[in-house]
């Protein structure tokens, strides 16, 4: 049908001087078309490439029509109707990062944000509205993706389920392990598609439809940015932000975030792996010089750990960014304790246990995913920080 349309348009444009027909067709659909006279259309092809710079202009054009303000600039539109930053990222960049760089994606997300704000009687779109809209938008995008490729890849829905409730940065070996559990089942279920159901073909399909990106040299590329195929050297893959909320894959490392106010009983098992010392007595106390000195040294170890993590070439950028935020939060909480004249002994205990719990989980996760090994500098530094926490407890519990 599409081929017939293209050839009909070619014929009309050739026969009639005063008629000009134009067909707008997605490049991924056009690339899949195979027909005898395709080479005759090469001279008539014109690619429209949407980028971080050009796509906002389309959003602005729609906004001008909607608001009847034809003089409004992009900066005016964003500053008036959107929060300046969302999760610490500039609003326009955040919104575009959740699209497959297609106009309808950006328009759908903006419309959802607008509808939510109106429903809550807000004059401007809040950060909370954007994050709520992402839940609905992400489900739309996931269903749209499955629907778009249901003819070519009827097994796509079965594949995407494998990526739910996991980290959104996934090593190749982990994908291979997870897929290996269902590979034979899918081949039995879709016998006509067996050539497409080997792991290398699966990775190329998921990359080609825009579901997975590829991490190369600490930069993530998606198919619309870098058309091509998955290379043998590609070790890490990233679920596109548009699909993460629907899959509940919102962490790059799948580690419980650092919390200092968790249930002590739950955290006690982590503490027992670190040290078996006298339980703290609940009260507050003034800081001593020796305690402050030990705590300062301990905080510095977190900064040194982050430096070492940045030196790990295998560590994807999004994983490094998330870990960096957690380590900074841990260091900041201990710095706040140091700034106070009196320190709550139980709060200090909770902070230490929470930090050690996070570090133990971090070490296990990084080793299991092949980012580091047990003898690496990072593993050694994590063990050192955990051991030092026992010394800090000694100083604060026995120094008064």
Question: Could you report the per-residue pLDDT of 29-47, keeping only the tens digit for each?
Answer: 777 787 777 777 877 888 8
Tokens for 149, please give them: 């490729």
Write down the pLDDT at residue 269: 47
DSSP state of 162: G
Strands 236-239 and 169-171: antiparallel
pLDDT averaged over every residue in the chain: 85
Write down the pLDDT at residue 342: 67
Write down the pLDDT at residue 264: 47
Residue 66 sits at the vertex; the CA angle it makes with 64 and 67, to the nearest 5 degrees, is 65
Write down the pLDDT at residue 288: 54
Q: Are 145 and 212 in contact (CB under 8 A)?
A: no
220: β partners: 215
CATH number for 55-148 (one of 2.40.160, 1.20.272, 3.40.1800, 1.10.8): it is 1.10.8
Within the chain, what is the greatest distance between any pair of CA atoms? 97
Q: How many CB atoms lie within 10 A of CB 358?
A: 22
Residue 116: name the closest of 92, 140, 135, 90 by CA. 135
Residue 119 has pLDDT above 80, yes or no: yes
Q: Round to whole Å and give the CA distance between 373 and 368.
A: 8
Could you report the per-residue pLDDT of 220-241, keeping only the tens digit for each? 999 988 888 999 999 999 999 9
Write down the pLDDT at residue 199: 96
Q: Where are the domains of the chain?
A: 2-44, 55-148, 156-247, 264-398
The pLDDT confidence band at residue 393, using thresholds 50, 70 and 90, is: low
Could you report the per-residue pLDDT of 168-226, keeping only the tens digit for each? 999 999 999 999 999 999 999 999 999 999 999 999 999 999 999 999 988 999 998 88
Could you report the per-residue pLDDT of 55-69, keeping only the tens digit for each? 888 888 888 888 888
Cβ neighbors of 28 (< 8 A, separation 6 or more) are 208, 209, 223
Residue 301 has pLDDT above 70, yes or no: yes
- Phi, psi for residue 79 in degrees, rounded to 5: -70, -30
Q: How far is CA 265 from CA 8, 93, 269, 270, 278, in A?
A: 73, 42, 8, 10, 15
Q: How far is CA 38 from CA 22, 32, 61, 123, in A?
A: 16, 11, 34, 51
Write down the pLDDT at residue 276: 46
Tokens for 194, please give them: 């067996």
More confident residue, 372 or 79: 372
Q: Are 52 and 93 in contact (CB under 8 A)?
A: yes
Residue 171: name the closest of 208, 110, 212, 111 by CA. 212
DSSP state of 284: E
Residue 279 has pLDDT above 50, yes or no: no
* Of 119-133, 290-304, 368-382, the least confident: 290-304
- Dihedral class, residue 192 (left if φ above 0, else alpha if ψ from -120 to 50, else beta): alpha
Tokens for 324, please give them: 């960096």
Write down the pLDDT at residue 95: 92
What is the mean predicted confidence (pLDDT) over 120-133?
91
Residue 55: name the closest of 86, 10, 101 by CA. 101
């Amino acid at each position: 049908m599409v081929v017939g349309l293209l050839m009909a348009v070619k014929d009309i444009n050739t026969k009639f001087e005063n008629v000009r027909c134009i067909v707008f067709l997605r490049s991924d659909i056009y690339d899949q078309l195979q027909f005898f006279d395709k080479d005759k259309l090469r001279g008539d092809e014109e690619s429209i490439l949407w980028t971080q710079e050009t796509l906002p202009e389309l959003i602005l054009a729609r906004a001008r029509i909607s608001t009847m303000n034809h003089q409004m600039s992009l900066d005016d539109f964003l500053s008036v109707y959107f929060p300046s930053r969302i999760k610490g990222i500039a609003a326009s960049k955040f919104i575009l990062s959740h699209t497959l760089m297609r106009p309808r994606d950006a328009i759908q997300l903006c419309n959802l944000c607008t509808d939510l704000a109106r429903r809550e009687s807000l004059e401007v779109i809040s950060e909370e509205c954007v994050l709520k809209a992402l839940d609905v938008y992400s489900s739309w995008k996931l269903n749209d993706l499955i629907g778009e490729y249901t003819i070519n890849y009827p097994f796509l829905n079965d594949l995407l389920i494998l990526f739910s409730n996991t980290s959104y940065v996934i090593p190749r070996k982990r994908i291979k392990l997870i897929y290996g559990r269902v590979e034979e089942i899918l081949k039995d279920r879709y016998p006509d598609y067996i050539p497409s159901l080997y792991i290398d073909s699966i990775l190329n399909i998921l990359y080609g439809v825009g579901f997975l990106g590829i991490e190369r040299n600490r930069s993530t590329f998606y198919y619309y940015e870098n058309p091509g195929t998955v290379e043998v050297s590609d070790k890490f893959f990233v679920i596109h932000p548009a699909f993460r909320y629907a899959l509940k894959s919102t962490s790059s490392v799948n580690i419980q975030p650092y919390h200092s106010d968790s249930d002590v009983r739950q955290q006690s098992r982590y503490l027992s792996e670190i040290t078996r010392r006298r339980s703290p007595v609940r009260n507050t106390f003034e800081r001593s010089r020796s305690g402050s000195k030990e705590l300062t040294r301990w905080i510095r170890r977190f900064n040194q750990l982050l430096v070492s993590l940045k030196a790990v070439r295998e560590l994807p950028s999004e994983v490094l960014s998330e870990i960096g935020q957690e380590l900074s939060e841990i260091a900041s909480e201990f710095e706040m304790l140091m700034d106070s004249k009196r320190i709550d002994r139980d709060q200090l205990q909770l902070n230490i246990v929470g930090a050690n719990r996070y570090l133990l989980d971090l070490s296990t996760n990084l080793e299991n995913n092949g980012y580091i090994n047990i003898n690496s500098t990072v593993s050694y530094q994590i063990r050192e920080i955990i051991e030092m926490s026992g010394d800090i407890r000694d100083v604060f519990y026995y120094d008064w």
